[in-house]
Amino acid sequence: MKILGIETSCDETAAAVVEDGVRVVSNVVATSLKDHQQFGGIIPEIASRRQIEFIHWVVAESLSKAQLTLDGIDAIAVTRAPGLIGSLLVGLCFARALSRATGKPLIEIDHIKAHLYANYLQFKPELKACPQERLPAIGLVVSGGHSSLFLVKDFKTFKLLGSTRDDAAGEAFDKVARILDLGYPGGPVIDRLSAQGVNDEIKFPQAPLTGSFDFSFSGTKTAVLYYTQKHKDKPGYSPAKVAYSFQESVVSVLVEKSLKACKKFKVNTLLIGGGVAANSALRRRLAEQAIGSGIDVFFPPMALCLDNAAMIAGLGYHWQQL
């Protein structure tokens, strides 16, 4: 079965073809990131207008790369929520029109749950994917808009264990990058800069929220702001050290809560998804600490950490089957 996936939840416009819920046949993404950088964040109106321009091309290109026409597609999967309302409407309207015109079934998918499914996709033959029998699992989704922990019982049963009470992890990275005048998006630049600022001098507070699997990063971000305002004109001030200490604070909370959830629910599979899944410190720390706990950690390929339509099509296969 070949599923055409369409994803327009934020600033990317993406389409993909996935076969039998596993093999990525094509994966095309157009981004309007450069249009937003001068504003230091995503401007919803710009995002949706660019998606109107891009969507026909990305769908046609994904079919072309898969060497298919719409006749060769068995179903259409599209992101339903969450996301920017204008952007979501572009994808939903296009997908619903395609479904109506072709008679193909339409499957509307939760974007956050699809991020976890990206771990099961065979993106390239040489890249290892999580075996589909590795369920139940704990899933951590960390992105610009979301920081959530799930118990994944099967591909249609996701139990939310905890989520952010304020800033998402990726949002905190973006805001700290703005405080440090590093530009947008903040995640990649803080990750790179942190490698030059390893230190034990600066410690930023964490919000443990004991007894829950929720997250809170607003206080850590504010602590960075106050520290920077107090020290930036003093000798020895180092943005790299600030970036490192901030990243360590955020990553340590994500790792600790994810591993605690695995222990509590007695599962040995941990799935990571979302844009922050590309963070090198998170990948390194989880790999190191999970080994001692007997937990296998899976990350999607870098191209599938960011918003993409392959994850929508992949999960759509199972939602069509169930």
**What does each of the 322 residues of the chain score in pLDDT, given as a tens digit?**
999 999 999 999 999 999 999 999 999 999 999 999 999 999 999 999 999 999 999 999 999 999 999 999 999 999 999 999 999 999 999 999 999 999 999 999 999 999 999 999 998 887 889 999 999 999 999 998 899 999 999 999 999 999 999 999 999 999 999 999 999 999 999 999 999 999 999 999 999 899 999 999 999 999 999 999 999 999 999 999 999 999 999 999 999 999 999 999 999 999 999 999 999 999 999 999 998 889 999 999 999 999 999 999 999 999 986 5
Q: Is the residue at 50 inside a domain?
A: yes
> Is 295 within a domain?
yes
Are 226 and 286 in a shared domain? Answer: yes
Rounded distance between C-alpha atoms, residue 152 and residue 203, angstroms: 34
**Claim to verify: residue 147 and residue 275 sit in the same structural domain:** yes
Q: pLDDT at position 321, please?
A: 63
If asked whether residues 202 and 146 sit together in one domain, one would say yes
Residue 148: per-residue pLDDT: 97
Are 81 and 117 in contact by the 8 Å Cβ rule? The answer is: no
CA–CA distance, 37 with 183 (Å, rounded to integer): 8
Tell me how crowded residue 49 is: count the other CB atoms within 10 A of its CB. Answer: 16
Structure tokens at 90: 């572009």
Q: What is the CATH number of the domain that holds 45?
A: 3.30.420.40
Provide the pLDDT for residue 293. 85
Query: Do 150 and 294 belong together in one domain?
Result: yes
> What is the predicted pLDDT for the residue at 126?
77
Q: How far apart are the first and last CA of the chain?
A: 14
Q: Give the CA distances from residue 67 to residues 7, 122, 180, in Å, rounded to whole numbers and listed in that order.
A: 20, 18, 46
The total of structural domains in the chain comes to: 2
Q: Are residues 170 and 92 in the same domain?
A: no
Clarify whether residues 41 and 118 are in a common domain: yes
CA distance 222 to 205: 10
Nearby residues of 234 by Cβ (< 8 Å), 6 or more positions away:
none
pLDDT tens profile 31-58: 999 999 999 999 999 999 999 999 999 9
Q: Please list, in sequence order, all residues whose beta carbon lies within 8 angstroms of the beta carbon of residue 124, skipping any fewer than 6 positions away.
A: 301
Q: Are 86 and 56 in a shared domain?
A: yes
Is 132 a member of any domain?
no
Is the domain of 90 the same as that of 148? Answer: no
- In angstroms, the CA 4 to CA 203 distance is 47
**Distance separating alpha carbons of residues 87 and 234, to the nearest angstrom:** 44
Residues 120 and 141 in one domain: no
Structure tokens at 204: 């930023």
User: Are 232 and 295 in the same domain?
Assistant: yes
Query: Are residue 114 and residue 194 in the same domain, yes or no?
Result: no
**H/E run at residue 315:** helix 310-321
Residue 179 lies in a domain: yes
CA dihedral over 34, 38, 39, 40, signed as positive or negative? positive
Burial per residue of 23-44, b for 16 or more beta-carbon CB atoms within 10 angstroms, e otherwise: bbbbbbbbbbeeebeeeeebbe
Q: Across all residues in the chain, what is the average pLDDT?
A: 96
**43 Rama sector, left if φ>0, alpha if ψ -120 to 50, beta otherwise:** beta
Torsion region of 138: left, alpha or beta (phi above 0 gives left; psi -120 to 50 gives alpha): beta
3-state secondary structure 54-81: HHHHHHHHHHHHCCCCHHHCCEEEEEEE
Domain assignment of residue 47, yes or no:
yes
CA–CA distance, 94 with 294 (Å, rounded to integer): 45
Identify whether 109 is part of a domain: yes
Place of tokens 């909370």: 253
What is the domain range of residue 30?
2-127+304-321
* 109 and 165 assigned to the same domain: no
Residues 225, 237: Cα–Cα separation, whole Å = 13
